[in-house]
Amino acid sequence: MEQFRLPKIPMPDLDMPQAVQDVLKEAEQALAHRPKLLKLFKNCFPNSLETTTKLMDDGTTFLITGDIPALWLRDSVEQVIHYVPLAREDADLQRIIGGLIKRHIHYVLIDPYANAFNETANDWHWNAADETEMSPWVWERKFEIDSLCFVIRLAYMYWKETELTDIFDSKFKTALRKMVDVFKTEQRHQEQSAYRFTRNNGISTDSLRNQGLGMPVNYTGMIWSGFRSSDDACDFHYNIPGNMFAVVALRQMQEFAEWVFRDMDFLNELKELEAEVEHGIHLYGIYRHPVFGPIYAYETDGFGNYCLMDDAGTPGLMSIPYLGYTTADDPIYQNTRRFALSQENPFYFEGKAAKGIGSPHTLPGYIWHMALSMQGLTAQTAEERLEMIRMLEATDGDTGYMHEGFHADDPTVFTRKWFAWSNSLFAQLVYKAMKDGLL
């Protein structure tokens, strides 16, 4: 099941920021009556800082995903997002997170189509034979719309929390321009895009069909994506949760344009692009389900074909409120959520140990810890949030950490012993429940 991976890069010791130490002390009091949950939280909350983070001499920050020696734009944001609310008064966290934003910008300027990058231009690649325009900086060049959106997500949340503006230099604005140009090009992928990706390894989900171009799509106003947040190829290349995320990112970019760069022409361009994508979602992205009513599709091609499923990765349909596109009480989202947590979703599994959403990225019957954490973070009731925490607590396989997928009947059978994103999302859920007085 696992592909070949280069040895992990040793991360140097990092002094733990005081704000993170304070949270761990807080947890010792709040979770004293739940010793296993306390252990899990104390392992998972600082995990990204303890094992994946490297401060670079140029003032940037490099994060590996865990057991893969590369920085994923998406994963690296979610690995540190739970530290952002602590960063206002903590200079060490500002150095770490601000440095990560600057490294993201460096990478986007190298290749806005790539999803994962190397620490240096060392020419390491997931697959050296990939047929695409590679760079020695690029670990993998799968175009996923969410990669660029996550870059904006971290910069925006960091700015709002700390009110620091040192990240907004000329390179940042150039990167924004590059992102918008990519989004516009990929609105008309087949006519305008030079992006191609083929990987001849015998795994169909690792490669785009049609000689690397992808399956045909109709113009909708939405943005084409080659791959999902699981790094698997899309069936139909308008990924709906990815485009919802793009709408959120474009709204956040509008604030950068108006309040940071004072560029009204760019602001109006961003508003127009947001409206085009939003119109496409409403016109093409809603499916009239015979059981659940109108739901958001996972993917469409604009020709009337739909992929009806949900995947454990973010962005997914479950994570729509988490990303800020709509609220958890939105009627279409509620219908979609009921669909995703039912047997109608081909990647929803129930077993002796747990029930929840998995992914085509792993074997049938494997539930992802990230899906359970996201279900908890987007739950409307305290009961559901606590149920997810209990399920997560019970399915760590006695390792003290979260994983990728685990077998629904036996949590000791799992994929990825070291997966920092999963640890961080779990920690975010538990910390939120602590602050809300539920634990």
- Residues 302-321 have a mean pLDDT of 98
Statement: residue 279 has pLDDT above 90: yes
Confidence class for position 12, pLDDT limits 50, 70, 90: low
At residue 66, the pLDDT reads: 85
- Residues 230-241 have a mean pLDDT of 97
Confidence class for position 307, pLDDT limits 50, 70, 90: very high
| Alpha-helical regions (H) of 285-316 | none
Whose tokens are 């929840």? That residue is 356
- Residues 40-57 have a mean pLDDT of 96
- Least Cα distance to 223 among 299, 157, 109 occurs for 299
Statement: residue 8 has pLDDT above 80: no
Inter-residue contact 300 to 240 (CB < 8 Å): yes
Distance CA 107, CA 194 (A): 19
Contacts of 171 (CB under 8 A, 6+ apart): 105, 106, 109
Mode of pairing for the β-strands spanning 116-117 and 138-140: antiparallel
Confidence class for position 13, pLDDT limits 50, 70, 90: low
How confident is the model over 394-420, as pLDDT tens digits?
A: 999 999 999 999 999 999 999 989 899
DSSP collapsed to 3 states, 16-60? CCHHHHHHHHHHHHHCCCCHHHHHHHHHHCCHHHHHCEEECCCCC
How confident is the model over 109-141, as pLDDT tens digits?
A: 999 999 999 999 999 999 999 999 999 999 999
Distance CA 217, CA 238 (A): 8
In single-letter form, the type of residue at position 28 comes to E
How confident is the model over 150-160, as pLDDT tens digits?
A: 999 999 999 99
At residue 4, the pLDDT reads: 33
Distance CA 420, CA 147 (A): 17
Distance CA 231, CA 115 (A): 9
Mean pLDDT of the chain: 95
* Domain ranges, ordered by start, for the chain: 17-51+347-439, 69-344
Statement: residue 14 has pLDDT above 90: no
Confidence class for position 5, pLDDT limits 50, 70, 90: very low
* % of the chain beyond a pLDDT of 70: 97
* CATH fold of 69-344: Glycosyltransferase (1.50.10)
- Least Cα distance to 107 among 65, 71, 78, 68 occurs for 71
Distance CA 105, CA 112 (A): 9
Confidence class for position 16, pLDDT limits 50, 70, 90: very high
Contacts of 49 (CB under 8 A, 6+ apart): 14, 16, 17, 20, 83, 96
Whose tokens are 């925490």? That residue is 389
At residue 7, the pLDDT reads: 39
How confident is the model over 182-230, as pLDDT tens digits?
A: 999 999 999 999 999 999 988 999 999 999 999 999 999 999 999 999 9
Distance CA 46, CA 92 (A): 14
Statement: residue 2 has pLDDT above 90: no
Whose tokens are 């015998």? That residue is 202
